[in-house]
């Protein structure tokens, strides 16, 4: 069901603070012959946009450039199968299908690329400075603390396809947050909180960065992605604990992101340990803060 027909949640005017997305206007603005985006569907409610789009790709019903947006996610997923939920029309719940031409070993840059694109779009259209927490969190400062307002999830959808999902808290109030460490654009005082222009800005920025990365055959340094990510990454320069798959834990200073998108830790033993997957806990502020 399209958001243009909200169904059993009542009139589109029932919550003036949270109007529905204008699916027709979004398609007119974004789905054009000279753009990456080939289709855009806005669903009223869905379990997970990533799950639905992965299923469509595998069934041959969606290809590169397909965009799926939901007004509400009832079973959204983050990394490590963590849940991601929010009230209806309070955020942006978005998944896109991509068929990357660069070598598979460089696909690990896709969630980082999405983070860079989202941070740039939100700074421009939302009017709020964003920070990136490796590998896939979007943070902003609310009061005197960094709080998560968005997350990214990339997953394979066949041999050559990847679905990248982005969840962003836009209008959530303090009492609606799933955990105290979460935040929203509203709580950050962002002047731009209209979801339609935010969504257009996000997809245009993602198209730009994906095109640069693809044209450079996935080389993050050649397309400027490595430099841009490092400049916006709040993890770098911090003492962190990496909780790795399998239960291992590594503590050290996050000193770099390498060419494969891995976080490099300088451990107390004097070793440099690249981390390709895991949960990162910021232990202390970056030096000089």
The residue ranking higher by pLDDT, 185 or 12, is 185
pLDDT of 9 higher than 50:
no
Same domain (yes/no): 131, 81? yes
**Across residues 127-138, what is the average pLDDT?**
96
pLDDT tens-place string over residues 195-213 = 999 999 999 999 999 999 9
The pLDDT assigned to 203 comes to: 98
Q: In the beta sheet, which residues pair with residue 142?
A: 145
Q: Taking residues 33-46, report their average pLDDT.
A: 97
User: CATH no. for residue 117?
Assistant: 3.30.930.10
**pLDDT given for residue 22 in this prediction:** 98
Q: Which domain holds residue 254?
A: 236-282
Contacts of 122 (CB under 8 A, 6+ apart): 128, 130, 138, 168, 185, 190, 198, 201, 202
When divided into structural domains, the chain yields a total of 2
Tell whether 274 and 150 lie within a shared domain. no
Residues 47 and 179 occupy one common structural domain: yes
Tell whether the torsion through CA atoms of 227, 124, 84 and 286 is positive or negative: positive
Question: 253 and 119 share a domain?
Answer: no
User: Which of 21 and 4 is assigned the larger pLDDT?
Assistant: 21
- 226 and 185 fall within a common domain: yes
Selected residue with higher pLDDT from 11 and 194: 194
Residue 10 pLDDT level (bands cut at 50, 70, 90): very low
CB 121 within 8 A of CB 184: no
Alpha carbon distance 200, 71 (integer Å): 15
Q: What is the reported pLDDT for 97? A: 98
The HSE-up count of residue 141 (CA atoms within 13 Å, CB side) is: 4
> Tens digit of pLDDT for each residue in 60-106?
999 999 999 999 998 765 554 555 568 899 999 999 999 999 999 99
């Amino acid at each position: 069901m399209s958001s243009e027909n909200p169904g059993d949640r009542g009139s589109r005017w029932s919550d003036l603070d949270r109007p529905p997305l204008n699916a027709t206007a979004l398609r007119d603005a974004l789905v054009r012959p000279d753009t990456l985006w080939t289709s855009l569907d806005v669903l009223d409610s869905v379990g997970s946009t990533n799950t639905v789009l992965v299923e469509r790709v595998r069934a041959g019903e969606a290809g590169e450039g397909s965009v799926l947006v939901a007004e509400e996610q009832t079973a959204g997923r983050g990394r490590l199968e963590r849940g991601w939920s929010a009230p209806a029309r309070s955020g942006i719940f978005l998944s896109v299908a991509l068929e990357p031409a660069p070598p598979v070993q460089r696909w690990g840059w896709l969630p980082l690329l999405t983070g860079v694109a989202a941070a740039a779009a939100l700074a421009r259209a939302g009017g709020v400075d964003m920070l990136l927490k490796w590998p896939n969190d979007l943070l902003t400062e609310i009061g005197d603390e960094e709080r998560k307002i968005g997350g990214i999830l990339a997953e394979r959808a066949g041999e050559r396809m990847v679905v990248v999902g982005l969840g962003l808290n836009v209008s959530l109030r303090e009492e609606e947050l799933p955990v105290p460490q979460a935040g929203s654009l509203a709580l950050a005082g962002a002047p731009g909180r209209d979801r339609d222009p935010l969504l257009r800005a996000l997809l245009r920025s993602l198209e730009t960065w994906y095109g640069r990365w693809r044209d450079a055959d996935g080389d993050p340094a050649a397309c400027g992605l490595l430099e841009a990510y490092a400049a916006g990454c709040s993890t770098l320069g911090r003492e962190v604990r990496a909780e790795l798959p399998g239960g291992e834990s590594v503590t050290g200073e996050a000193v770099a992101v390498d060419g494969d998108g891995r976080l490099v830790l300088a451990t107390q033993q004097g070793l440099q340990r690249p981390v390709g997957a895991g949960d990162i806990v910021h232990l202390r502020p970056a030096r000089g803060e």
